[in-house]
Chains A and B, each alone.
Chain A
């Protein structure tokens, strides 16, 4: 984790140096990317909820879910987040919001039907830990420079090729290549960071509920439930992958490096280690 963060940092320093060396109007780029990151932090909640077809529910509409989350909040000493439900058969849950005060946790109707109360409790505790750990903020900030690099790359694709005459500025090519490199490497580092945060959220959930095995069994049930889902739903969901309890279509992931979530086997193994520790506690 620390190593990943260090690598990300080093990478971004390299990008800044390359940008300055190339004499690019870095301020402009930073402003645009900064604005996007800010929008991501402050405005994306509602957008993401709408994209998922989720809506906030009152305690009267979903009494069980509200009561479950309230108890978890007492245990985790968190203020209660907004509660939303997405009406889809895909069993999943996710958390949004930059800080515990402005957070929303969402469950799909599919996951509420699929899981037992104890399993659902584990899943919601996982999402609440994302909230407590401020994962949305961490991932947005960590992705800040990756976004800048991505824009430079796109900028290069759209406008760089146009005037490849003798006047072409060679330093722009260098910057383009560095940005491409930064983009690619930071992509993998971000995925590694995301996987780490997933493990942390699993661990946090186990601490809140005291039942690692319930979460493990929920993960198994969700992953087997996942494959019965129509393809269209899976694709429609791909944008929000990083904040899901379990990413849609993860079974088809080409390699570990590309995944935002650790593999099911590793997560369950980690949870089982926690259960062993719990049982052996003296």
Chain B
């Protein structure tokens, strides 16, 4: 943010960073092989639905496309709105590669429609050897992933496990460098 922007207070909302979503396709193999993190077969993309006519039609069209391709790939789509008013498009497919592609279809459709800045994040859901939930969250604005491991109990996260994951994955994933941007997402439905 430049000096002039500070003076005028006219700050633009940031659009998506260069897309590094697909880094997850290859990283998932490493996660599976060396860290025993297996995909739960689900992934989701979260965005703010706008109450405008063209936004609704973009979302409807995009869902149509997903359902259409889903007949070939076996990906199923579900949508839920959470209590914060954000929409979750939950994709389910045993083939991880198809999940990443499906998420990209959604984000691409929103960006092409000019609504890329409405996307909050994408969430990939994993289970570790003890069947605990482990999430990798992709922040579109920063173009980076970060791990999120909810611990048992309300609003608790296992920071140790998260930091360990960051070290273990190394350079295979673009991991968010600023730890204060590792925003938790409570109540992830996948």
In the complex, which of the residues A77, A118, A197 contacts B85, with contact meaning CB atoms closer than 8 Å?
A: A118
CB-based contact A200/B9 at 8 Å:
yes
Interface residues of B in 108-142 (CB under 8 A from A): 114, 117-118, 120-121, 139, 141-142
CB-based contact A132/B1 at 8 Å:
yes
Q: Which residues of B are found within 8 Å of A207, using beta-carbon distances? A: 12-13, 117
CB-based contact B83/A117 at 8 Å:
yes
- Is A21 close to B, CB under 8 A? no
Residue among B6, B51, B83, B84 facing the most chain A CB atoms (10 A cut-off): B84
- Is B178 close to A, CB under 8 A? yes
Contact mask for chain B residues 146-171; partner A; CB cutoff 8 A; 1 contact, 0 none: 00000000110000000000000000
Q: How large is the interface on B (under 10, 10 to 19, 20 to 34, 35 or more residues)?
A: 35 or more
Q: From B184, which residue of chain A is reached at the shortest CB distance?
A: A70
* Contacts A80-B180, A121-B84, A279-B52; A74 near B120 (Cβ below 8 A): yes
Q: Which residues of B are found within 8 Å of A137, using beta-carbon distances? A: 6
Q: Which residues of B are found within 8 Å of A266, using beta-carbon distances? A: none
Q: Which residues of B are found within 8 Å of A117, using beta-carbon distances? A: 83-85
Q: Which residues of B are found within 8 Å of A282, using beta-carbon distances? A: 54
CB-based contact A60/B48 at 8 Å:
no
- Is B7 close to A, CB under 8 A? yes
CB-based contact A59/B13 at 8 Å:
no
Q: Which residues of A are found within 8 Å of B34, using beta-carbon distances? A: none
Q: How large is the interface on A (under 10, 10 to 19, 20 to 34, 35 or more residues)?
A: 35 or more
CB-based contact A67/B50 at 8 Å:
no
CB-based contact B121/A74 at 8 Å:
yes
- Is A75 close to B, CB under 8 A? yes
B46 → chain A closest CB, angstroms:
9
Q: Which residues of B are found within 8 Å of A281, using beta-carbon distances? A: 52, 54, 114
Q: Which residues of B are found within 8 Å of A129, using beta-carbon distances? A: 9, 11
Q: From B17, which residue of chain A is reached at the shortest CB distance?
A: A77
Interface residues of A in 51-84 (CB under 8 A from B): 59-60, 63, 66-68, 70-71, 73-77, 79-80
Contact mask for chain A residues 262-282; partner B; CB cutoff 8 A; 1 contact, 0 none: 000000000000000011011
B96 → chain A closest CB, angstroms:
24
Q: From A63, which residue of chain B is reached at the shortest CB distance?
A: B155
A134 to B11, CA, bound (A): 11
* Contacts A75-B120, A80-B180, A132-B1; A1 near B8 (Cβ below 8 A): yes
Q: From B121, which residue of chain A is reached at the shortest CB distance?
A: A74
Interface residues of B in 48-92 (CB under 8 A from A): 48, 50-54, 83-86
B53 → chain A closest CB, angstroms:
7
CB-based contact B11/A79 at 8 Å:
no
Interface residues of A in 232-282 (CB under 8 A from B): 278-279, 281-282
Residue among A67, A135, A207 facing the most chain B CB atoms (10 A cut-off): A67
CB-based contact A71/B9 at 8 Å:
no
In the complex, which of the residues A5, A67, A211 contacts B51, with contact meaning CB atoms closer than 8 Å?
A: A211
Q: Which residues of B are found within 8 Å of A1, using beta-carbon distances? A: 8-9
Q: List 10 A-B contacts (CB under 8 A).
A: A5-B7, A67-B84, A67-B186, A79-B178, A79-B180, A79-B181, A137-B6, A207-B13, A279-B53, A281-B54
Measured CB to CB, the residues of A under 8 A from B are 1-2, 5, 59-60, 63, 66-68, 70-71, 73-77, 79-80, 117-118, 121, 129, 132-135, 137-138, 196-197, 200-201, 203-204, 207-211, 278-279, 281-282
- Nearest first, the 3 A-B pairs at minimum CB distance are A200-B9, A133-B9, A70-B183
In the complex, besides A132-B1, A210-B48, 5 extra interface pairs with C-beta distance below 8 angstroms are A67-B186, A70-B183, A74-B139, A203-B10, A210-B50
Measured CB to CB, the residues of B under 8 A from A are 1, 6-14, 48, 50-54, 83-86, 114, 117-118, 120-121, 139, 141-142, 154-155, 178, 180-181, 183-186
